[in-house]
Amino acid sequence: MTRIALYPGSFDPLTNGHLDIISRACRLADRLVIAVGAHHEKSAFLSAEKRKALIAAEIANIADNIDVAVFDGLVVDAARDLGASLLVRGLRNGSDFDYEMQMAGMNQAMAPDVETVFLAAAPSINYLSSSLVRQIAAMGGDISSFVPAQIAEAVRDRIGRAG
Ligand code: COA
């Protein structure tokens, strides 16, 4: 049986922290699908399709068992639609843990057949967050050590267009 893992998130934008989780999670399953949430599309910084295209370019450099998709319903429904039996989430700190435990519990209650797996974020980059990357870029700071080069460019473009 093919084991499929789903890594859901906003990825607005994808950071080096997400890439760390992706490069490790793809070894846990036959196929890893990165699921970009399009729920808050109106307030999104980058559109879901743009986030998907940026992620597609990055995962091509990591492994050939990784795909990316956009979803806008429940995570557990996306998992079922894709035939995923694992849900992957990264944990950076205690606040993530509290929030993630609650989500894992709700998801388990709704879909007992889908198992949540937590990966500990690499200690060297466990301070990264997408909103801080956006904030630093908006204030003219250098984000090149937090996100891949093409993503830094897309973030700067987006800020340039808004300004
Ligand atoms: N490296 C870097 N950043 C990380 C990270 C890592 N390893 N792990 C988490 N983050 C950060 C993100 O950058 C983001 O930062 P920000 O808040 O500063 O922008 C933050 O953690 C949370 O991001 P994300 O992992 O994308 O989760 P989310 O809570 O925004 O969204 C969804 C997760 C998309 C799955 C969820 O919100 C959703 O929409 N679910 C669908 C509805 C549903 O099923 N609801 C029921 C759930 S019980």
Nearest protein CA to atom 25 of ligand 1, as residue: 9
Residue 94 belongs to a domain: yes
Residue 93: pLDDT band (50, 70, 90) is very high
The CATH number for 23's domain is 3.40.50.620
Ligand 1 atom closest to Cα of 75? 44
Does the residue 114 lie in any domain? yes
pLDDT-derived band at 163 (thresholds 50, 70, 90) equals low
Phi, psi for residue 6 in degrees, rounded to 5: -115, 130
Q: Which residues contact 94 (CB under 8 A, 6 or more apart)?
A: none
Is residue 92 annotated as a catalytic residue, yes or no? yes
Q: 56 is in which domain, residue-wise?
A: 4-123
User: What is the Cα–Cα distance from 150 to 27, expressed in whole angstroms?
Assistant: 25
| Distance from residue 9's CA to the centre of ligand 1 (Å) | 4
Could you tell me if residue 50 is inside a domain? yes
**d(CA 10, ligand 1 centre) in Å:** 5
pLDDT in tens, 48-83: 999 999 999 999 999 999 999 999 999 999 999 999
Asked if 42 is an active-site residue, the reply is yes
Q: Per the structure, how many domains does the chain have? A: 1
Domain membership flag for residue 154: no
Gap between the Cα atoms of 41 and 30, Å rounded: 30
